[in-house]
Amino acid sequence: MVNLTLYGLDPSPPTRAVKMTLAALQLAYKYVNVNVLKAEQLSPAYLQKNPQHTVPMLEDGPARFWDSHAIMAYLVRKYAKDDALYPKNFYKRALVDQRLHFESGVVFAHALISITRMVLFLGQTKVPKERIQAIVEAYDFVEAFLNQEDHEYIAGDQLTIADFSLISSISSMVAYVEIDPVKYPKLRAWMRRMEQLPVYAENAEGARLFIASVKKAKFTVAE
């Protein structure tokens, strides 16, 4: 019997990535909203469960852990009927892992969360130009990945958890920098491909909420 509880926040890209994975695996779960803007992740009850006080966090019966990449890989290993979303083949899995690490370190940490912390958490109305450039650089890399071997998806010709991870962040970064379809044709085509998947519904509303919050902040870029 599956007994899953996901703690998260819909505007959070990592939370959305996990929700897409759960949808792809057709797993039922309880969802607990944790409002990080109101510091609910710092409550004693949450800290007891997760000392790192991050979202998302998954409970699977007595097991409890966090980090979206770890959660997605765990869910596929334990509950998937096959290994399509996280291949067992050494090379294919290495490629998926590389894209996941890229999303975590370059896209999310360096590009997205850095500027988001300034705009939404610290209330800065002017952000350094290099923060915008970090987003552009991330777009450049993804375009290069997709163009390298003309893949349909981010880690090859089949959908994987790397796609869920990256689409959740990139669909949020458009709040800061729109994607030029002329400069990034492969990136835009991949995004459209992802948007057509039934599981994308788990990302769409959260991305809309995230973008609305950023637009409401009315930040400008410092020269």
Active site residues: 12
Left, alpha or beta for 141 (phi > 0: left; psi -120 to 50: alpha)?
alpha
Helical spans, DSSP H, in the chain: 13-24, 44-49, 68-79, 90-102, 113-116, 129-148, 161-173, 185-195, 201-217
CA distance 52 to 49: 9
Question: What radius of gyration do the chain's Cα atoms show?
Answer: 17
Residue 74 to residue 66: CA distance in whole angstroms: 11
